[in-house]
Amino acid sequence: MSKILVTGGTGYIGSHTVVELFNAGYEVVIVDDLSNSDVKILSQIEKITGKRPAFVKLDLCEEKEVIAFAKQHQDIAGIIHFAAFKAVGESVKQPLKYYRNNFYSLINILTAFNSNIKLVFSSSCTVYGQPDKLPVTETADVKKAESPYGNTKQIAEEILQETCSVCPSLEVIVLRYFNPVGAHGTALIGELPNGVPQNLVPFITQSAIGKRAAITVYGDDYNTPDGSAIRDYIHVVDLAKAHVSAIKRLAEKVGQNYEVFNIGTGKGSSVLEIINAFEQTTGEKLDYTIGKRREGDIEQTFGDVTMANEILGWKAELDINEMMNSAWNWEKYLRDNPF
């Protein structure tokens, strides 16, 4: 049984991925400093899978500690590196916080494992900015980043690509996620937003449960069918499964040691369509007003996911209704079982 190191494994996408790794028969060790997650997630994973992941509380920016960890865990077959800060707005206000955390953690892992490791890296569709052509393929231009956060993803990809080009023992798959939403079907794990959610779906669920006021739709004057902005929303459980597919591919000898895949559904949905889907599937009425465009937002994006479908053998299976329903069930679970 292969052992996989999941950094950031108590976080939103990491916790769902740990569940899918267990389901696929892997052994897991999580490293997380709990800077944006709760240790209780370990018990929640145990409730879902019957297995408690091994856990080491560690700040990956601490080089000596990461090196010591790697020495003690020489049986690790692969790493999924989620650990990073991800709040776009905060990164504009505190760029060094983001450059420090997102780069030091990656560089320390590569150093500690002597660039002799199979690694899946969490990147983002944010690297494409507003694509010139839709659906956007992996070969599309990377645009100037809109935020320090986005820049950390672009530069991290370059760090990995350049290191791979001189270290054949380093094998990397970069996954560029579109917009992850939803929660596990059991409603035992999901997203734990810090403060007022900046992202659409957690704001919708918190508004519906009465924790927030009305939703503001950021702009209805875009050049889209209903005027609101379009994104490729992907269910977090589907996204988690893409990581298992990537780990399996890394276990095969594929002849190239750096690959990039879009992970989305390939289908765009507008903000108003998401609001409508939420109301239809949950039966809850949402209060919303139309506001101005949000600074830094793009008009529309959705991914070409042919490469992930054909090469990784992975395909998104869950639709918008399942995304909304699971997000809503998780919000209700949190109300009844506060963390």
Least Å distance, CB 154 to ligand WQD, is 11
Catalytic site residue from 98, 128, 149, 177: 149
By C-beta, is 115 or 269 nearer to ligand WQD?
Answer: 269
The least CB distance from residue 11 to ligand NAD, in Å, is 2
Q: Which is nearer to ligand NAD, 61 or 286 (CB)?
A: 61
- The residue range among 44-52, 79-87, 214-222, 264-272 that interacts with ligand NAD, by the rule CB under 6 A, is 79-87
Q: Is 183:189 a contact under the CB 8 Å cutoff?
A: yes
Q: How many C-alpha atoms does 125 have within 13 Å on its Cβ side?
A: 29
Question: Is 149 noted as a catalytic residue in this protein?
Answer: yes
23 contacts 58 by C-beta, under 8 angstroms: no
Residue 108 binds ligand NAD (CB under 6 A): no
> What six digits make up the tokens of 114?
């002597």
Q: Which residues contact 30 (CB under 8 A, 6 or more apart)?
A: 5, 6, 7, 9, 10, 14, 18, 42, 53, 54, 55, 56
Interface residues with ligand WQD (CB under 6 A) are: 86, 88, 124, 126, 179, 198-200, 203, 215-218, 229, 231, 271, 294, 297
Evaluate whether 130 touches 299 at the Cβ level (below 8 Å).
yes
Closest CA to 13 of 337, 238, 207: 238
Q: Which residues contact residue 67 at a Cβ distance below 8 angstroms, ignoring those fewer than 6 apart?
A: 108, 111, 112
CB of 207 to ligand WQD, least distance (A): 9
Residue 8 engages ligand NAD in binding (rule: CB under 6 A): yes
What residues are labeled active site? 149
Residues that bind ligand NAD (CB under 6 A): 8, 10-14, 32-37, 59-61, 82-86, 101, 105, 122, 124, 177, 180
